[in-house]
Amino acid sequence: MTPLAMMLTLSSVLFALGLLAVLTRRNAILVLVGIELMLNAANLNFIAFWAFDSPGAHNAAEPVLSGPMFVMFSIAIAAAEAAVGLAIILMVFRHTRSTDLNKLDSLHG
């Protein structure tokens, strides 16, 4: 198994674990934890492709930076997402005194 394949496998398992957390945890904040895991899996892929296979890097006159660049933007946006997500959860908590997703069924038809 090449290192690239290993990294990709690692990231796919990480992604699946994040998805599992999103689908099964009942605490809204822990759902956010799952989302962070999934985002990290994606970042891992960027770094993997940058580190092990950068087309055009082999005759490197130009530095190839798109991988790290993507990750930097992704991290910044992930931080923003976490902040807004947690703020929304806090607001929900203030209304219902709970962060249990099973109790939040106001979408009930």
User: What character string, x for contact with other proteins (CB under 8 A) and - otherwise, covers 36-75?
Assistant: xx--x--xx--x--xxxxx--xx-x--xxx-xxx-xxx-x
Query: Cβ 104 to other proteins, closest distance in Å?
Result: 6
Residues 19-38 binding other proteins (CB under 8 A) are 19-27, 29-34, 36-37
Residues 82-101 binding other proteins (CB under 8 A) are 82-84, 86-91, 93-94, 97-101
Query: Cβ 66 to other proteins, closest distance in Å?
Result: 9
In order of 34, 43, 47, 58, 82, the CA distances from 74 in angstroms are 16, 7, 12, 26, 12
Residue 14 touches other proteins, criterion: CB under 8 A:
yes
Closest CA relative to residue 23, chosen from 78, 104, 101: 101
Residues sharing a CB contact under 8 Å with residue 66, sequence separation 6 or more, in sequence order: 50
Closest CA relative to residue 18, chosen from 40, 46, 51, 48: 40
Query: Cβ 84 to other proteins, closest distance in Å?
Result: 5
Q: Residue 100 forms beta bridges with which residues?
A: 27
